[in-house]
Every structure is written in structure tokens, then in C-alpha cells.
Amino acid sequence: MGREISYRPLVEADLPLMTDWLNQVHLRAFYQRDPTTAAEVAAKYGPRIRGEAPAHCSLALMDGAPFGYLQCYRVADWADWREAIGVEHGVAIDLFIGEPGLIGRGIGRRMLDGFVKVALGRYPDERLCWIAHELENHAARQCSTAAGFSPVKTFLDDGRASILMVRQGSALTPPNA
């Protein structure tokens, strides 16, 4: 079965860890293309942590130790994203594994699969989860497919060819992250 994965809310004290993760080489290709500073990370994630932006940010933990980041948000709350993907309803999820030693071990699939229930628990009136990946990000696409997502269509995201994927579900777990 593997080691237990749980989730908890991202807090201000996690921002140094986020800065470290976002500067990892493995995130350069598709998630954080340019190096980032602690001030930039605080400016981006601080409002989300404080509830000033309509996104719920979580850390994924394995046996209590943080190893990845996930966020979810109602598509309807982000007009630019809603327009980019051409979808009106549902919950979008973004994620990455921060610890490079855990890449390619099936942990991302487990992390995403479990978080779908958390995300839908936050928005009980929604039944669809959306995730998007650049077409060239084969590993992420494979991870999402293994977690039950199916491709819907391609679209341009900031000028990059991307694929939108969907998973239908129900909130089986109360929101704890």
C-alpha cells in the first residue's frame, strides 16, 4: 500500500520550505521556470494562506513529513483560468512534488488521488475536478491519468500547448487541508 499520505493547510512558517522547493531543478521545466525569492513566494502565497485569494493551499505529508504542494480553487472564482480552459464549473487542482527523491515513484498519483476528495469536500456543490499540464509534461500527464483523470481537450496556457483533464467524483472526505 505504501506510506500514508495526509494533507494540511499551508501556513506562513512553510514559506521558506516553499521557496526551497520552488527553486529545485526538477520544477524548472514546467512549474517554476525562473528562480524565485522568499519575498516573491510570500507575495504569491501569503494572500492565499490568509484567505485573501480564493484558493486553498495544502502541503502533502508522508508519515508526517512535508513532501509536496497542492492547491485547489473553484474554476468560477478565477475568470482568467475559466476563460483559458473554457469551463464554467468544477474545482481545479495544481500540484508538485517538492522533494526530488520522491519523483517517479508513484507518489504523485497517490497524492493527487487522495487530494481530489479533499478538494471536492471544500466545494460540495461541485462534482468535477480539472487539472491541466503542458503537452510535453509526459510524467505529469501519466500521473493524472493514473489518478483517474481523462483528457478533454488541448488549449493554450500562456502560449504553451496544454491538455485539460477531468475527473468526476464526490466528496468522500471532509476538508482537512
The mean pLDDT of 104-117, rounded to a whole number, is 93
Sheet holding 65-74, edge to edge: 5-9, 56-62, 65-74, 91-97, 128-134, 160-168, 150-157
- All structural domains of the chain, each given as residue ranges with its CATH number in brackets, are 5-168 (3.40.630.30)
**Cα gap 151→136, rounded to integer Å:** 14
**Cα gap 115→131, rounded to integer Å:** 12
pLDDT for res 171: 43
pLDDT above 90 covers what percent of the chain?
81
Give the DSSP letter of residue 47.
H
Cell of 41: 513566494
Q: What does the mean pLDDT of the chain come to?
A: 91
Predicted confidence (pLDDT) at residue 172 exceeds the cutoff of 70: no
Of 60, 50, 51, whose CA–CA distance to 116 is shortest?
Answer: 60
Taking the whole predicted model, whether its pTM rises above 0.85 is answered as yes
**Cα gap 134→31, rounded to integer Å:** 10
Give the CB-side neighbour count of residue 65, counting CA atoms within 13 A: 7
pLDDT for res 170: 52
**With bands split at pLDDT 50, 70 and 90, how would you rate the model's confidence at 49?**
very high
**Cα gap 57→8, rounded to integer Å:** 9
The mean pLDDT of 143-156, rounded to a whole number, is 95
pLDDT tens, residue by residue, 63-93: 999 999 999 999 999 999 999 999 999 999 9
Predicted confidence (pLDDT) at residue 177 exceeds the cutoff of 90: no
Task: Write down the number of H helices and E strands in the chain.
Answer: 5, 7
Reduced to 3 states (helix: H, G, I; strand: E, B; else coil), residue 150 is: strand
**Cα gap 13→58, rounded to integer Å:** 13
